[in-house]
């Protein structure tokens, strides 16, 4: 059972990745592994991320389960390319994510997930992770 506290840990621990002009087709298997590993390393509470990600997945309308597509979408939100994301140091990635989350709240890019009003960036992060960990 997920507690609210655990749930929030994920959000605070904050998140991840990147890309602007990268295309899905440019995804190489090695990039995918690197990105997935780095994304996972950014989150301190796996259960919370899974909880949010799965909850989001179950909400209408139907969500894609295409991991590369979701990673690409996430990287776009934080304005990083795949390579930038891989190269960038963890604190800088976290700062990028934090900025994107705050911007979401300023612009109304929010999502209600199981009662929690969350930024679309943090929801997307959890969704990506839940998909990655499910494979």
The contact set with other proteins (CB under 8 A) reads: 4-5, 7-9, 11-12, 98, 101-102, 104-106, 108, 110, 112, 115-119
Question: CB of residue 65 vs other proteins: minimum separation in angstroms?
Answer: 26
CB atoms within 10 A of CB 105: 14
Question: CB of residue 83 vs other proteins: minimum separation in angstroms?
Answer: 29
Question: CB of residue 76 vs other proteins: minimum separation in angstroms?
Answer: 20
**Given the complex with other proteins, which of 82 and 119 has the nearer CB atom?**
119
**Given the complex with other proteins, which of 75 and 113 has the nearer CB atom?**
113
**Given the complex with other proteins, which of 10 and 36 has the nearer CB atom?**
10
Question: CB of residue 78 vs other proteins: minimum separation in angstroms?
Answer: 16
Tokens of 11: 């959000």
Ramachandran bin of 119, using left for φ above 0, alpha for ψ from -120 to 50, beta for the remaining angles = beta
**Given the complex with other proteins, which of 25 and 106 has the nearer CB atom?**
106
State the virtual CA torsion across 50, 51, 54, 59 in degrees, nearest 10: -150
**Given the complex with other proteins, which of 8 and 33 has the nearer CB atom?**
8
H-type helices in 14-119, by residue range?
A: 29-42, 46-58, 67-77, 82-87, 90-107
C-alpha distances out from residue 51 to 1, 6, 55, 69, 88, Å: 9, 10, 6, 21, 27
Question: CB of residue 108 vs other proteins: minimum separation in angstroms?
Answer: 7
């Amino acid at each position: 059972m997920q507690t609210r506290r655990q749930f929030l840990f994920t959000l605070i621990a904050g998140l991840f990745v990147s890309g602007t002009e990268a295309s899905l087709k440019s995804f190489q298997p090695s990039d995918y592994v690197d990105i997935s590993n780095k994304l996972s390393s950014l989150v301190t509470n796996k259960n919370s991320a899974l909880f949010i990600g799965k909850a989001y997945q179950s909400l209408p309308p139907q969500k894609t389960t295409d991991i590369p597509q979701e990673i690409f979408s996430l990287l776009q939100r934080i304005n990083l390319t795949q390579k930038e994301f891989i190269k960038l140091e963890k604190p800088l990635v976290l700062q990028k994510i934090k900025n994107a989350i705050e911007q979401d709240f300023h612009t109304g890019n929010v999502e209600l997930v199981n009662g929690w009003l969350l930024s679309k960036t943090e929801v997307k992060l959890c969704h990506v992770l839940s998909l990655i960990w499910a494979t």
